[in-house]
Each structure stands twice: as structure tokens, then as C-alpha cells.
Amino acid sequence: MDFDCFYNREAERFTFLKVPEVLVDGGEFKGLSAEAIILYSMLLKRTGISFKNNWIDKEGRVFIYFTVEEIMRKRNISKPTVIKTLDELDIKKGIGLIERVRLGLGKPNIIYVKDFTSVFQVKENDFQKLKNFTSEVKDVDLRSKENELQEVKNVDRNYIENNKSKYSKRE
């Protein structure tokens, strides 16, 4: 095959898949396969489209539809590979970047794509809990009588007393 170069603005005519760099080299996502990272990036793109189409549930969460067959066609991979990759991303069997909800009756599953950046954010609620916890700690004087060590009895027996030497044979 002989490929030609892009000229001028021709390079802008394509859409590209954005892969968050933290998924590739982030410690939290170290075990993800390349296939799972690409699929998750595709799911992220679909989430943006779903938001524009107002596919939002009663709780305000954006959801997508992406059937196994569609993924097979777009990624050119087998059904077992798609299922394995979805399981790798799923909240029940994998890392938790997606949550699948079965609708049954031949309908496609709803997929909630989780926000990968949420593991890096300190939530205000958690900060408030930490603040309350630290305010509950009493001011303790480490030299107080309550903190002195109590006298400990020596409960270790002498080995010689317990070795039953009168029953052992001597040479």
C-alpha cells in the first residue's frame, strides 16, 4: 500500500478517539488492558452524545446504549472478547468504570459510564467528616498519670523448671 500525506486542512476532516492519559499510565488503572482502555474511551465519547440527546435518568445520571453487536462491529473483535472487556470495566466484575443495567425483554442494556477522575477528587463530604473527626480528639497530656505503664508480673516460667528433667534419660 502506498499512503499519501495530509495536505493543508485535510487532517481536520476526521474525528478522533480521545484516550485519557491517566488510563494509560495511571497507577489506579494499571491493570486495564489496552482493549478495555479503548472501549472505555469509546463509551466516554458516547456519553457526551447521550448528554446532548438528553439521555438522563431520574437521578440525573447520563446513560448510553451500546450493544455487544455494535461493539463487535466497531472494534472488529469477537463476542467473547467484547464480553470479557465489558466485564473488565464493569462495577460487578471489574474495576468499576461502568455499570450495566439489564432491561430484559430483548432490550439493550443501559450502561452508566463512571467518571474516572472521581477517584482523584477529595469530596467535600469526606473533608467535612475528617474535620469533624479531628475536632473530636481530646487534648491529652502524654505525661499524665493515666498514661503511665502499669507494673507487669513476670509470668514467664523458667525453662529449667518445666523441662521435666526427671523423666528424661541421661547419658
Where would I find the beta strands (DSSP E) of 49-97? 64-65
Instruction: Output the 3-class SS for 31-55.
Output: CCCHHHHHHHHHHHHHHHHHHHCCC
CATH number for the domain harbouring residue 80: 1.10.10
CA atoms of 133 and 122, how far apart (whole Å) = 16
Would you say residue 128 lies in a domain? no
Q: What confidence score (pLDDT) does residue 51 get?
A: 93
Task: For the full predicted model, state whether its pTM sits above 0.75.
Answer: no
Q: What confidence score (pLDDT) does residue 69 get?
A: 96
Would you say residue 86 lies in a domain? yes
Would you say residue 88 lies in a domain? yes
Mean pLDDT of 7-21: 79
C-alpha cell at 50: 447521550
Residue showing cell 481536520: 12
Q: What confidence score (pLDDT) does residue 7 get?
A: 76
Name the residue type at position 141: D
Across the beta sheet with 110-113, the strand order is: 64-65, 110-113, 98-101
pLDDT tens track for 131-167: 655 555 555 555 555 555 566 565 555 555 555 555 5
Owning domain of residue 59: 16-119
Residues in the chain: 171
C-beta neighbour count of 47 within 10 angstroms: 21
**Number of structural domains found in the chain:** 1
Would you say residue 101 lies in a domain? yes
The region of weakest confidence among 36-50, 111-125, 132-146 is 132-146
Cα 24 to Cα 38, 101, 112, distances in angstroms: 10, 27, 21
Name the residue type at position 133: F
Give the DSSP H/E element, type plus range, for residue 171: none
Cα 127 to Cα 79, 105, 138, 139, distances in angstroms: 44, 44, 20, 21
